[in-house]
Amino acid sequence: MKEEIDALLSDVKKLPPMSNVVIRIMSLVQKPDVSINEVAAEISKDPSITASIIKLSNSSYYRASKPVRTVSESLMTLGLDTVKEIIMLSASKAVLQKDLKGYQLEADEMWMHSLVVAELSGRIITLKKLPIPKDLAFTAGLLHDIGKVILTQFFPGKILNIRDELKNMETTFTEVEKKHFGYDHQEIGLKVLTAWNFPDELKEVVSCHHNPELAVKFPLLASVVHIANTITVISGIGIDIGGINQELSPFAIKQVGMTDKDIEFLFTSIPEIQKQLLDLTRG
């Protein structure tokens, strides 16, 4: 099975499509001196991404101060960091808003789970005043479960076996995945983002969001997404065959400096977050 997965992931054409424009933009915006005109010109090469950016820029979630009609206006009104979020939302929706039948998770649930984890990740950055760009945390949270999409798309029957095994064994979800596939969904996610040439920060977070203590270069960002994901699952958003048997990592809590009061605050903010995100789940 491991060899079969390796063969699959070595052929980029078989992976869910990620716009080449988005991949180039992800590289472009890493440059500290990148100009708004450069970014706007690159975005304009993809009509569907352009239309989606304009639509989302005018949504109630982003609350633009005036109507946005072009990508340049979006960049000027909302700023480069926010538009980077919108770009990833636009590109990721087609990939992530899918029924994960093997995981017993419907498309809208999967998408809402990804959005809430992304939003919570950004809020943790702000709440704890962490030295991480908020849009980077948002994107990492958005993409954290990309490996599940790959596994359920290509091996749905195998995941049903995992579900049956979880009912009768006291073991972690990722351990059972690894037993059946040779990889867990975190490792699959790493391979996918590597194939897409995504930044190292995103690759590491995706590869260890359940085990942030394994992060080598970016343990703080991995810890942020771990906390956001755990809170989201425990809140009942995006529960799959792994159930809610997830615990907050003491390592992550220490890294981020989270207090009981912080965690309670984030839990109580979930209903408001879901309400705000409704605009992003439509269309």
Task: Kindly list the structural domains of the chain, giving each domain's residue range(s) and its CATH number in brackets, ordered by start.
Answer: 2-11+95-281 (1.10.3210.10)
Buried b (16+ CB within 10 A) or exposed e, 95-125: bbbbbbebbbbeeebbbbbbbbbbbbbbbbb
Report the pLDDT value the prediction gives residue 203, as an integer from 0 to 100: 95
Query: Among 93-97, 100-104, 129-133, which stretch is predicted with the lowest mean pLDDT?
Result: 100-104
CB contact set of 93 (below 8 Å; sequence gap of 6+):
52, 111
Mean per-residue pLDDT, 173-186: 85
Calculate the alpha carbon distances from 257 to 59, 124, 205, 254 in Å.
33, 10, 18, 5
Report the pLDDT value the prediction gives residue 168, as an integer from 0 to 100: 65
- Where helices occur in the chain by DSSP H, the ranges are 2-9, 20-28, 36-43, 47-57, 71-78, 80-96, 107-127, 134-143, 146-154, 156-168, 173-181, 185-195, 200-207, 219-234, 250-256, 260-281
Query: Among 13-17, 173-177, 272-276, 278-282, which stretch is predicted with the lowest mean pLDDT?
Result: 13-17
| DSSP symbols for 192-236 | HHHHTT--HHHHHHHHSSS-GGG-SS-HHHHHHHHHHHHHHHHTT
Residue 16 CA to residue 28 CA, distance in Å, equals: 22
Residue 1 CA to residue 13 CA, distance in Å, equals: 20
Mean per-residue pLDDT, 234-254: 81
Mean per-residue pLDDT, 143-148: 91
Residue 191 CA to residue 226 CA, distance in Å, equals: 19
pLDDT at 7 over 90: no
The two structure tokens encoding residue 182: 């040779």
Report the pLDDT value the prediction gives residue 143, as an integer from 0 to 100: 93
pLDDT at 214 over 70: yes
**Average pLDDT across the chain, whole number:** 85
The two structure tokens encoding residue 30: 């890493």
172, 165 contact by CB (below 8 A): no
Buried b (16+ CB within 10 A) or exposed e, 43-54: beebeebbebbb
